[in-house]
Amino acid sequence: MEKKFTDYYPPGSAYYEKVRGKISKLYENFGYQIIEPSVFINYDDIYFCDKNNSFKIVDYDGSVLTLRTEYTLSAANIAANLFDERQDVMKFYYFGKVFQYLTENAGDWREFHQIGIENIMKKDDPFSDVEVIALAAETLLELGFLNFTVDIGEVNFFKGITFGYGIDDESSEMLCKLIDKKDYIGIENFLKDKNIKSSVIDDFRRITRLYGKGDVLKDARVYAKNEISKKSLDRLEFIYRKLKSMGYEDYISLDLGMLKHMDYYTGIIFTGYIEGLGYPVLSGGRYDSLFSRFNRRLFAVGFAAGLERLIEKMPVFKETFEVYVGYDDEGFEKAFEFTKNLKGKAYFQSFPERREECKERAKNMGIERVYYFKGKDIILL
Amino acid sequence: MITIALPKGRLAKESAAFFAKCGILNLCINESSRKLIYFDEKKNYRVILVKPFDVPTYVEYGAADMGVVGKDVLMEKNVRIFEILDLGIGRCFLALAGPKGKKTDFLEKKDKVIATKYPNITKEYFNKINHQNLRVIKLNGSVELAPLLGLSDGIVDVVETGRTLKENGLEVYEKMFDISARLIINRASLKIKKDLISDIIEKMERGLEIEHT
């Protein structure tokens, strides 16, 4: 039978708890607090791009709900409700399941775990961008990855350029898609049809090649002809320098042609890639405009990572029992009492067995320390 | 190591020749062989041969770092990859075609049936010209047969020389899009293996420039 749903069972299920332990500690060290938003969201409220692949439920009164497809919207909603004027910042992290249909090509997923943080502030400050990107890199390091990159872009660089050349919104949306694909030829054909000067076409084509390490910033200056673009480069340079001085240079890269969800992100954007996996494992950015839907003026930056993809490639945790506890018919009470007080993970046998059986089973499970309770006696095998 | 996905068939040979000309790798693809994986002598490259429609899938999920595939396939399958270069090989065009001499009948017919390997491109194309009542039948090959057997009124397919159409009593009604082979690259690979891949792109760009002059 076709397997439609995902069950989590040992040993895999234990990995999620391990990850939870590691990342909670990391995020809590930096003042992030856990949130657990409702699993339900009003269908009308979810992002347009998520509507198609979300799961719809009819509520008891006939209204349509969906299961949450991600956490940021709920986190922003919570912050908008709780934020009071005396506060400077609200920091949230989350760990849990989201529900979204990912196509057959992508492996036919309906549910997966997401971890992430949201840093929501009263003002816009580039230091919070640095903090969040550094924590994105730390998240991957904490999970044991060494060969990865957090690729960083800035949406205002492109917004400034299209604004400067007087390109209308509809065209710039199309252009975004082409540049994001680094589609050299598509850009040329598209702009030629719009009667755009060839020097401008060349500029847009060259933007697709603005990726790599720090020198990209220097190359990009040529295209930043107005204040919007210039400011975005200044900010990106500040962020890059800070991350470099913190020792993250090997784990970050730049791509000014990265243009995702332009109507959503308002500043830096970033995507995490690990070696050996062809698709992004982490995605984030600054999304200040989201709060206007809650009639608040707040500034936020955050990221989310899909755990299934990461766990697939994670260096395997060794999950073994340290102690085996066996007993005969009369030894049960003592054995139970003993196990209760044990430190470390014990395998407690669920039926009485003979001494030789106990030894054999422990050996098969690869457990070296074996306690056998024979009546009132304890024997170390 | 860099893994390159090539579409089985003539384009694989043409691509291999182009890679050789650019000084990237020398590979002899034997069409009669059943081999699906080839390595170069230094084991810097691994070339895999897959169905054209699977090239974008291999590249999108990173099973291959890069691939060569026709623009027609990329238009049909909307994948998240980088589409870096037009290799100028495998030139052909996508056309709307049907039985010879029946173009007016076809255009006037209200509820058209079209057989094609490219249902998405076909629907989008007819959507743009506001044609309603279109029915699309997806076939996996020998599309030219469909109008002859009454399965459809017309077809949307790639045309290279037009010989297949002609030999089956069909003709081009409308030229839709020019097609050529593209170099596509996996999003993560471009970033994680930047130096290796930039080197390949540069060599190919130089190769293309020489060709143009």
Q: Centre a 10 Å sphere on the Cβ of residue A244 and count the other Cβ atoms it contains.
A: 14
Residues 96-125 of A with CB under 8 A from B: 105-106
Give A211's contacts in chain B (Cβ within 8 Å): 190-191, 194
Helix (H, G, I), strand (E, B) or coil at A118: strand
Q: CATH number of the domain that A164 lies in?
A: 3.30.930.10
Confidence of residue B96 (pLDDT cuts 50, 70, 90): very high
Compute the distance between CA of residue A51 and CA of residue A44 in angstroms, rounded to an integer. 9
Which DSSP helix (H) or strand (E) runs through B149? none
The pLDDT of residue A105: 61
For residues A333 and A347, state if they share a domain: yes
Query: Are A277 and B188 an interchain contact pair (Cβ–Cβ within 8 Å)?
Result: yes
For residues A296 and A214, state if they share a domain: no
- Looking at the complex, report in whole angstroms how far the Cα of residue B103 sits from the nearest Cα belonging to chain A: 28
Minimal CA–CA distance to B98: which of B148, B137, B160? B148
Q: What is the mean pLDDT of chain B?
A: 92
For A182, which of B60, B61, B83 is closest by C-beta distance?
B83
For A33-49, the pLDDT digits (tens) are 999 999 999 999 988 88
- pTM: predicted TM-score of the whole model, two decimal places: 0.87
For B191-211, the pLDDT digits (tens) are 999 999 999 999 999 999 888
What letter would DSSP give residue B140? S
Confidence of residue B213 (pLDDT cuts 50, 70, 90): confident
Give A255's contacts in chain B (Cβ within 8 Å): 191
Q: What is the CATH number of domain B92-178?
A: 3.40.190.10
Q: What is the mean pLDDT of chain A?
A: 92
Q: Are B137 and B149 in contact (CB under 8 A)?
A: no
For residues A43 and A110, state if they share a domain: yes
For A273-332, the pLDDT digits (tens) are 998 888 899 999 999 999 999 999 999 999 999 998 888 888 776 667 899 999 999 999
Compute the distance between CA of residue B27 and CA of residue A122 in angstroms, rounded to an integer. 60
For residues A208 and A241, state if they share a domain: yes
For A278, which of B84, B189, B194 is closest by C-beta distance?
B189
Residues 136-165 of A with CB under 8 A from B: 147-149, 151
Angle at A359 between CA A358 and CA A361, to 5 degrees: 65
Query: Are B59 and A278 an interchain contact pair (Cβ–Cβ within 8 Å)?
Result: yes
- Looking at the complex, report in whole angstroms how far the Cα of residue B202 sits from the nearest Cα belonging to chain A: 12
Q: Is residue A218 part of a domain?
A: yes
Domain boundaries, position A351: 323-380
pLDDT, average across residues B10-27: 89
Q: Please state whether beta strands A33-34 and A89-102 pair in parallel, antiparallel, or not at all (unpaired).
A: parallel
- Please tell me which residue of chain A has the smallest CA distance to B64: A278
Q: Is residue A219 part of a domain?
A: yes
Radius of gyration over every alpha carbon of chain B, rounded to an integer in angstroms: 19
Query: Are A279 and B61 an interchain contact pair (Cβ–Cβ within 8 Å)?
Result: yes
Q: Is residue A340 part of a domain?
A: yes
Minimal CA–CA distance to B124: which of B72, B59, B194? B72
Helix (H, G, I), strand (E, B) or coil at B95: strand
Domain count, chain A: 3
Query: Is omega for the bond preceding B147 within 30 degrees of 0, making it cis?
Result: no
CA distances from A296 to A70, A121, A156, B11, B212 (A): 21, 11, 22, 56, 57
Q: Is residue A47 part of a domain?
A: yes
Compute the distance between CA of residue B87 and CA of residue B67 in angstroms, rounded to an integer. 11
Q: Is residue A238 part of a domain?
A: yes
Q: Is residue A163 part of a domain?
A: yes
Residues 24-83 of B with CB under 8 A from A: 57, 59-63, 80-83
For residues A35 and A113, state if they share a domain: yes
The pLDDT of residue A188: 87
For A273, which of B82, B85, B192 is closest by C-beta distance?
B192
Q: Residue type for A15, please? A: Y
Query: CATH 3.40.190.10 in chain B, residues?
Result: 2-90+180-212, 92-178
Query: Are B194 and A253 an interchain contact pair (Cβ–Cβ within 8 Å)?
Result: yes
Question: HSE-up of A53 (CA within 13 Å, CB side)?
Answer: 16
For A212, which of B61, B185, B194 is closest by C-beta distance?
B194
Compute the distance between CA of residue B109 and CA of residue A159 in angstroms, rounded to an integer. 45
For A253, which of B57, B86, B191 is closest by C-beta distance?
B191
CA distances from A55 to A36, A63, A69, A99, A125 (A): 19, 14, 8, 7, 36
Q: Are B128 and B145 in contact (CB under 8 A)?
A: no
Q: Are B147 and B98 in contact (CB under 8 A)?
A: yes
For residues A168 and A260, state if they share a domain: yes
- Looking at the complex, report in whole angstroms how far the Cα of residue B76 sits from the nearest Cα belonging to chain A: 14
**Cβ neighbours of residue A61 under 8 Å, at least 6 residues apart?**
none
Query: Are A280 and B86 an interchain contact pair (Cβ–Cβ within 8 Å)?
Result: no
Q: Which fold has domain B2-90+180-212?
A: D-Maltodextrin-Binding Protein; domain 2 (3.40.190)
**Cβ neighbours of residue A204 under 8 Å, at least 6 residues apart?**
A161, A175, A179, A187, A191
Q: Is residue A196 part of a domain?
A: yes
pLDDT, average across residues A94-116: 87
| More confident: B120 or B29 | B120
**Cβ neighbours of residue B116 under 8 Å, at least 6 residues apart?**
B122, B136, B137, B138, B139, B143, B155, B156, B157
For B99-111, the pLDDT digits (tens) are 999 999 998 888 8
Query: Are B83 and A186 an interchain contact pair (Cβ–Cβ within 8 Å)?
Result: yes
Q: Is residue A242 part of a domain?
A: yes
Query: Are B62 and A278 an interchain contact pair (Cβ–Cβ within 8 Å)?
Result: yes
**Cβ neighbours of residue A32 under 8 Å, at least 6 residues apart?**
A91, A92, A93, A117, A119
Rounded percentage of chain A residues whose pLDDT exceeds 70: 98
Q: How many CB pairs under 8 A join A and B?
A: 60
Q: Are B185 and B197 in contact (CB under 8 A)?
A: yes
For residues A176 and A163, state if they share a domain: yes
Radius of gyration over every alpha carbon of chain A, rounded to an integer in angstroms: 26
Confidence of residue B160 (pLDDT cuts 50, 70, 90): very high
For residues A80 and A185, state if they share a domain: no
For B191, which of A184, A273, A276 is closest by C-beta distance?
A273
Compute the distance between CA of residue A245 and CA of residue B61 in angstroms, rounded to an integer. 33
- Please tell me which residue of chain B has the smallest CA distance to A206: B84
Query: Are B60 and A279 an interchain contact pair (Cβ–Cβ within 8 Å)?
Result: yes
For residues A153 and A274, state if they share a domain: yes
Using CA of residue A301, residue A306, residue A312, residue A314, what is the dihedral sign? positive
For A213-254, the pLDDT digits (tens) are 999 999 999 999 899 999 999 999 999 999 999 999 999 999
